[in-house]
Structure formats: structure tokens, C-alpha cells
Amino acid sequence: MGTVHLHPRSSGGRPSLVSFADDLEDQRYECPGLVARRRELLLDDSSLRILVLSGPGGSGKSAALRSIGREARRLGQAVSVVDARAQDVAAELDALADAPARVVLVDEVDLLPGGLTGLAAAIQALPADTRLVLAGRGLPARWLPSALESLTAHVRVPALTPDAADRVLLAHAVDDADVRGVLVRWAGGLPLALVVGARAWAAAGSRPDRLEAALLREGSDDLLAHLAGSAFDELEPELVAALAVAPGLDAALIGHLFPGRTEEVVATLRATGVVESVAGRIALHPTLAEVLADRLRSEEPARLAATTLRVAGHEHSRALLGDPGAVARLAALVRDPALRSGLGSRTPAPCYADRWRPDDAPAVRRRVEAACPGAWSLVGAWAGADLRVVRRADGAVAALVAAMSVRAAERLTGPRRQLIAPVLERARSHGEPERAVITAVQLTVDGSGDPEVDRVRNAAGLAQCGIANPRSDWANLVGDRPAERDVLRAYGYEEVVDLRRTVAGVPVSTWFADTGPGGLAGLLHDAILQEQGGSGGVVEPGLLLAVLEAFDDDAALARLAAGTADLVRSGDVGDLRAWVHAHVTRTLAGEPALLDLIQRRYLTAGGTHESVMRATFLSRATYFRRLRRARDLLVR
């Protein structure tokens, strides 16, 4: 009937090592609120009988399972533990059919050698007073019989909040507050990463100057071993590199990196058990991805750089073609902290973007008025559908932003129009107004100065404005706020001095940034090219056209690669494709229709003249005229 744990002690009544470890974990464990509520219901006299805990590796599923076992013992209930990796779970459950009431804990249930076949039947046969807890990275939907669904609760174990993570580190004797802050950000809410970070701190002799080296030397190996095991060794190197650098893989990106193999690659990734689905993309947990990238940067720098360039070229193209999320994904590929933190940090933020809610008004108004009396008369006019907020994990508003296109701004009336009127006039006359963003209001209301709040606010404004690749931003600063001015300067904004004004008795200034013809996507892409050894140099026309014609032919590209050593880092086929993709997207940045044509014809697997003409509904004459112009621009 499995292993029955009662809290083992050695002879003489002294605690055994096992019980000591159990007690120590109990002292250090930080139970997420959602899990704690379900644990209480499960062990109480409620109808809940089955609790399913899921989540990525390192998220605390097994720790939550053990905490339920400890709480059950404290309540005097018998506990059985079954490990799906080493035991026949169905047989163990069958053996409990006539046993007294107990709590049954099954860990790693998704790793059952024979899958879930037979497990559902064994669960149905358990006594009615049994409490069953199952933990695994993920289980298919509706695998339990429908009759049991009303008795079942499913909980995806959430990441720890920054405050909870800080308490975990304190319990592990990390007594330096600054170091705890570093480790909380590094761990990204993963309990296992916090434990690994605490060990690295101890290995560093509790010296802050040695922490980074200890994390790279010991923390990375521990985290990779615990979370991934040998999973990455079984994947092709290019796929491992893509997981490390990309903030998520969707079908389009996988098809670009592995032409003709999208379904195969997706199936391979899902079988590893180390990835998770996030907003329709397959991704590693950001902390695991960062650790993996650090290792590849040390062991395979050329492969990592080539993959980064290929991913960047793809996302740059998508930004130019109107994908609203591509700029943020590009920013996540940048290593420069100033650029990356502005939009694209991969570390899960302790806050999130949300819509404005009417009940936010009282608290936000108090804070805005305390910082600048009278400012609420301007800020409050935007409260509603035009305002986005950044919330802390507890729901409190940390920042506000209202960003829009020039066209949207032209439709505004009343107090909102009064605040932006001079800015709107200037934006119209500056050039390319269709790519200009007007940020009418942007401010931090909790005085935290947290760069993660700034990042989430910036990303929310970019998403709200509806411009996939903006060129310029005109940002209002309401009130005299030195900290906000410093943030704007750090992001390359300059004040438009002649737009200083007073609106409803409140000082307002306007700050401006212009990223150039390539837009924000071009700025980020150029930064990535510089960081990764990409080239913006001149290519011999005949060679470029030959590479385009042979883009999907590895053998032909290998012959051409010998003449490109001065253009790409290693001269291999992957680097050559990345360079050509970058050159095409950069050169045709201002000609989206021509870029789309080249992408479809040359950079997409299986593209032909006929297939592109059918897809774009172009006549033969128009198609070849545009294609000729695009090729002329590329080799000019």
C-alpha cells in the first residue's frame, strides 16, 4: 500500500535525519495563498476529494504536496505517499481500496511509464473518505471521469510573489537585503531557484562581490540539473539555442528556424516536459532560459549569436509587417540593460498591466494629489477606457499610462484635448505622423522607482497605441517630477522646451524621442546586430542574389558561405541565412510591401513566383516590377 509516512524518528526518541529535513522544510516553506486555500478545503470536511497540482519544473509542486502531507499529519490523518517514477501507481491505489481513511499523495504523476491508462479506474475505486493529491507538470484535459470532476480542484502552482520570495531567502539565512533583491529577480518566482540562489550565496562566503560568479559556477549547474535533467542533451543544438534566446516560440518562428518541420519540432518540445505554453508560445521559464543562455554564451558563443541573429531578423520583419508584439520580443533579445529593461526583460515582473477600474480612483487620486496638488484634474480626465495601469501582485496601482496614435488623438475633445492640443499640432508637422505616438499621461503613483514598473508601463503604452513599429513618441509629464524626468532622459528623450506650459494651474512639460526611419524595431535590431557580431556592411550584388536564390538549399549555401567571412561571424550556413535576413529587413524597412514580397518569395520555404502572385493577388507585370525594385534596393 505504498510508503506510509508517520514522521520517522530514530531510536531513543531523537529526530532522524529524515524528520529533521521535514521539519526544516516546514519552517522554510512559503505556501502560495491559492494552494493554502485548497489545502484547507481538502483536509476539512468539504466535498473536495481530489486536488491536482500542476506547473513547470521548480515551481514548488512537490513542496506543496509535502506541505499537505505535513498538515494532514498534524490533524491526525494517515498519509500515504506514492512516487510515480518508481512505483506502480494504479496497483498502489488498488491496495488502498479497503484501507482506513487517509490522504494519498502521488508525485510526478505525468511521468507514469504507462501513461494514465488504468489510473482513472483505480481512483474511482478509492473509498469515499480518501483525499487524493496528484502533482505533475501537466495533465491532459478531461482525463478524469466526468463523475469525479465535481470533487476535483485543479491548481496551477503560481510563482511566488517578491515578498514571499524574500521570506524564503530570509529563512535560508540570506540576511543581506540587497542580495535578496538580486536573488528574487534572478529566481523569477521559482522556489527551486531561490533555494539554489541561497546555496550560491553560502558558496560565495556571504560576500556580495562573489555572488555573481557563484551563481554562474554552481547555481546554473544545479538549476539545469534539477529542472531539465538530460532533456537539453536530447535536443538538437539549434533548438536548445532557440529556447535559450527567444522569449517564446510560435509556429511562425519555428517554421522560420526549422523550415518544413514545425509540427515535428512542436511535438519534440512538448515531449521534453521542460517547456510551458505562455500566450500561445512555447517557452522555458525565464530564469531557466537565462541560465541556459549563460552556459551557451560560455560554451557555444558562435551558435548562440547566430541563433539570436536569426530570431531577431524574424521578429524585426514581423514588426515591420504590423505584428503588435514583435517589438517587445525584439527588446528581450537585446543584452544592453538600458534598452532591454525599457521593454523586454524576460524575468517575470512583480506587476502586470491591466485596465482602469472605477474603484481605483480614490487611492490613485490621493497619491497623485499628494505628489502634485491639482494634477488629478488632468490625470482623472483619462480615467476609463483610455487609461492603462500597472498593478502590483496585490492589485494596487503602481503606475498609469495613456498612449495613442495621432489619428486617435485627433478624435479627443474636452479636457483631454486641452492637455494634448499643442503636442498634437507639433506631431502632425514633424513628419511621419502615422508612426508617432502621443503619450498623454505617464506617471508612477506609488513612488517606488522600480524599473520593472517602468518596463511594464512602457510595454502597456506601446500595446495601447496600436502602432507596431513607432518612430517617435511625444510624452507629457504632468507636474514637477524629477524622478520621472530622469527616467525619460535615461530612455533617450529630450524636453521640447517651447512646449512647457501650465494647464489648469498644473505645470506640464513634453518630452520627445525619435528613433529614425527604421523605427523602434530598427533601433533594437541594430543594437542586436552590433552585440552579436552581425554586419551592416556592403555585400557584393551577385553574391546576395545567389544567396537569396539558394536560401533553402544547405549544400548551395555552404558553397557560397566561403565568400562571406567578412560579413558573418563564422561563415557557416546558419550565420549566412541570419545575415541575409537581417540585411533584407533592414534595407527594406521603409518599404513594407516590397519586404513582404521578398519574404514570401525567397525567405519562406517553398516560395515560388506563382505562389506569391496567388497569395498577393498581383498581376504578373506588377509582381515582377515590384520584385525588380526590391532587388535593386537590396544590392544598391
Q: pLDDT value at position 534?
A: 63
Does 189 score more than 70 pLDDT?
Answer: yes
In a domain, 130, yes or no: yes
Q: What is the mean pLDDT of residues 119-142?
A: 82
Cα dihedral: 218, 222, 223, 225 (round 10): 140
Q: What is the mean pLDDT of residues 70-89?
A: 84
User: Does residue 58 share a domain with residue 190?
Assistant: no
Compute the distance between CA of residue 77 and CA of residue 69 in angstroms, rounded to an integer: 9
User: Does residue 506 share a domain with residue 420?
Assistant: yes
Assign 400 a pLDDT band (cuts: 50, 70, 90).
very high
In a domain, 526, yes or no: no
User: Does residue 125 share a domain with residue 13?
Assistant: yes
> How far is Cα of residue 566 from the mean position of the Cα atoms in its chain?
35
- How large a percentage of the chain has pLDDT more than 70? 88
Which position has the grid cell 485627433? Answer: 410
* Cβ neighbours around 87 below 10 Å, total: 15
Choosing from 110, 125, 156, the residue where a domain stops is 156
CATH code for the domain of 97:
3.40.50.300
Which helix or strand (DSSP H or E) is residue 52 part of?
Answer: strand 50-54
Compute the distance between CA of residue 280 and CA of residue 248 in angstroms, rounded to an integer: 9
pLDDT digits (tens, 9 = 90+) for 347-359: 555 678 899 999 9
Q: What is the mean pLDDT of residues 267-273?
A: 84
CATH code for the domain of 277:
1.10.10
Lowest mean pLDDT: which of 216-225, 425-434, 499-508, 559-568? Answer: 559-568
Q: pLDDT value at position 95?
A: 79
Highest mean pLDDT out of 57-71, 111-125, 265-279, 439-453:
57-71
In a domain, 528, yes or no: no
Beta bridge pairs of residue 53: 135, 155
Does 277 score more than 50 pLDDT?
Answer: yes
In a domain, 340, yes or no: no
Give 21-29's long-range contacts (Cβ < 8 A, gap of 24+). 22/66, 22/70, 25/63, 25/66, 26/67, 26/70, 27/171, 28/168, 28/171, 28/172, 29/63, 29/66, 29/67
* Cβ neighbours around 182 below 10 Å, total: 17
Q: pLDDT value at position 18?
A: 61
Burial 117-146 (b: 16+ CB within 10 A, else e): ebbeebbeebeeebbbbbbbbebeeeebee
Q: pLDDT value at position 241?
A: 93
Does 253 score more than 70 pLDDT?
Answer: yes
User: Does residue 180 share a domain with residue 167?
Assistant: yes
How many domains are there within the chain? 5
0.75 exceeded by pTM: no
Does 117 score more than 70 pLDDT?
Answer: no
pLDDT digits (tens, 9 = 90+) for 553-581: 887 777 776 555 545 544 567 767 777 87
Q: pLDDT value at position 9?
A: 46
3-state secondary structure of 606: coil
Cβ atoms of 143 and 101 within 8 Å: the answer is: no
Assign 388 a pLDDT band (cuts: 50, 70, 90).
very high
**Residue 48 vs residues 43, 96, 97, 178, 461: alpha-carbon distances, Å:** 8, 19, 18, 42, 43
Q: What are phi and psi of 445, to 5 degrees?
A: -105, -10
Q: What is the mean pLDDT of residues 610-634?
A: 90
In a domain, 53, yes or no: yes
Burial class from Cβ neighbours inside 10 Å (0-12, 13-18, 19+) for residue 219 reads: buried
* 357 secondary structure, DSSP code: -
Which position has the grid cell 539554489? Answer: 196
For 526, the grid coordinates are: 541594430
Choosing from 172, 199, 228, the residue where a domain stops is 228
In a domain, 343, yes or no: no
Choosing from 183, 213, 228, the residue where a domain stops is 228
In a domain, 344, yes or no: no
User: Does residue 249 share a domain with residue 360?
Assistant: no
Compute the distance between CA of residue 454 and CA of residue 446 in angstroms, rounded to an integer: 12
Alpha helices in 96-161 (DSSP H): 119-124, 146-149
In a domain, 555, yes or no: yes
Assign 439 a pLDDT band (cuts: 50, 70, 90).
very high
User: Does residue 108 share a domain with residue 59?
Assistant: yes
Does residue 628 or residue 558 have the better pLDDT?
Answer: 628
User: Does residue 397 share a domain with residue 474?
Assistant: yes
User: Does residue 96 share a domain with residue 26?
Assistant: yes
For 45, the grid coordinates are: 470536511
**Residue 583 vs residues 242, 535, 631: alpha-carbon distances, Å:** 20, 8, 12
Residue type, 21: A
Does 10 score more than 60 pLDDT?
Answer: no
Does 147 score more than 90 pLDDT?
Answer: no
Compute the distance between CA of residue 92 and CA of residue 408 in angstroms, rounded to an integer: 64
Q: pLDDT value at position 25?
A: 73
pLDDT digits (tens, 9 = 90+) for 542-554: 677 888 888 888 8
Nearest in space to 458 (alpha carbons), one of 366, 349, 381? 349
DSSP labels, 398-446: EEEEEEEEHHHHTT--HHHHHHHHHHHHHHHHHS-GGGEEEEEEEEESS
Q: In whole numbers, what is the pLDDT of the chain averaged over residues?
A: 83
Q: Which residues span the domain enclosing 207?
A: 162-228
For 285, the grid coordinates are: 521559464
Compute the distance between CA of residue 15 and CA of residue 237 in angstroms, rounded to an integer: 47
Lowest mean pLDDT: which of 26-30, 65-69, 178-182? Answer: 26-30
* 15 secondary structure, DSSP code: B
Assign 11 a pLDDT band (cuts: 50, 70, 90).
very low
3-state secondary structure of 610: helix
Q: pLDDT value at position 381?
A: 92
Cβ atoms of 519 and 513 within 8 Å: the answer is: no
Compute the distance between CA of residue 358 and CA of residue 351 in angstroms, rounded to an integer: 19
User: Does residue 178 share a domain with residue 199?
Assistant: yes
Compute the distance between CA of residue 512 and CA of residue 472 in angstroms, rounded to an integer: 7
User: Does residue 377 share a domain with residue 329?
Assistant: no
Q: pLDDT value at position 8?
A: 46
pLDDT digits (tens, 9 = 90+) for 289-347: 888 998 888 888 888 988 998 898 888 878 877 888 888 899 889 887 766 656 655 55
Compute the distance between CA of residue 400 and CA of residue 453 in angstroms, rounded to an integer: 10
User: Does residue 142 share a domain with residue 11?
Assistant: yes
Nearest in space to 274 (alpha carbons), one of 235, 330, 314, 303? 235
Q: pLDDT value at position 208?
A: 82
User: Does residue 555 share a domain with residue 474?
Assistant: no
Q: What are phi and psi of 104, to 5 degrees?
A: -115, 125
Q: pLDDT value at position 561?
A: 66
